[in-house]
A and B are shown apart, each in its own frame.
Chain A
Amino acid sequence: MNNIDDQKVSFRLLVDSIFTADQLTRIQDDIRTISQLAFKVGAGSFSSQIKNRVGSSLYLYILSLEKEKRLPAAASLGNFLSNLAGFLDGIDKITLTLAFEPSVDFQKEIVLWLENNLGRKIVVDFVVHEGIIGGLVIEYHGKYKDYSKAAEINLTANLQ
């Protein structure tokens, strides 16, 4: 899998399963860990070596590449992981502050909505703060906007 476009298609298999900033951070940490193992290929497959060292997302991704025989050879594995890390670094991140603990389904729904509307891969850092009452607060590319009910109530109180 030397072709860069092929690599990106492959990366998306992994990226599609990521929707929160925490997941992304964990996978980035895992990639740093297995990057050191890539040059010490010993007995057994690469996936078997990393199985107990990384999270399930990256393990299953590597395993699927092995099964499909798309995982690069040991010599170019380091380069492949480096490209993967770079690809993950380029993913847009949005911080959303909510007044409640969102379910996983709702988190996915929100991320999908954002990706559909922004037209690119997005990961969300969900922060819970009951003080905002309802709605949300958005932080994106250094900008901040308060769409919370607390802000509305404060605004109403100040206008009266």
Chain B
Amino acid sequence: MITLLVLILVLNIILAFLVLIAILKIAKIPLVKKPESAKNTKLSKKLEKSLEAEIEKLIATAGRRIDAKLLEYFQALVDDAVKKGTELSSFIEKQQGAIVKETQFLAARDITKLREDLDRYRADKFAQIELQIKGMITNVAKQVLGKVIDVSTHEELVKAALERAKREKFMSHE
């Protein structure tokens, strides 16, 4: 933007300089001031004033044009900024929406995983408890049965076991 301003300024200066040269040519005024006679001094001052006025006019015109251009340029910048701002706002809204959705998804997934972990933990604990209870029942059954069984029952159990071994041919020769 600064480059553009400098360029416009330089162009205007060159333009003003060219206009000055043209006026001097038309008025047959030498560029380098020669020693003048007293007769020409009055005319020279008149021309100088006229030239200054012209130059001021030209500079004013160029200034207005530059201002207009700058205004136009700034307006374009403002419009562009507004447009970009709108796009950015829309982008941010979209991103916010995506982040919210992703957060919701992650939170839901964490909750599901947490539930699964809890279910697994509960199942493991129940299995352990069941195993312990089974072991206790087995031990109690063994102790109670061991004390309750009398000799004749023991003998019957031994005979029954031998009969079973016979049926299974456990003691037959290979």
Contacts and interface: CB of A to CB of B under 8 A. Distances in A.
Given A147-B165, A153-B141, A153-B142, A99 B149 contact: yes
Nearest to A160: B134
B132 to A, nearest CB: 12
Interface residues of B, number: 27
B67 to A, nearest CB: 99
B138 interface: yes
A157 B157 CA distance: 20
Q: How large is the interface on A (under 10, 10 to 19, 20 to 34, 35 or more residues)?
A: 20 to 34
Interface in B137-170: 137-138, 141-142, 145-146, 149, 151, 153-155, 157-162, 164-166, 168, 170
Interface in A133-159: 133-136, 138, 140-141, 143, 145, 147-150, 153-154, 157
Interface of A: 94, 96, 98-100, 102-103, 106, 110, 113-114, 117-118, 130-131, 133-136, 138, 140-141, 143, 145, 147-150, 153-154, 157, 160
9 contacts: A100-B154, A102-B155, A106-B155, A110-B162, A134-B146, A134-B158, A136-B157, A136-B161, A147-B165
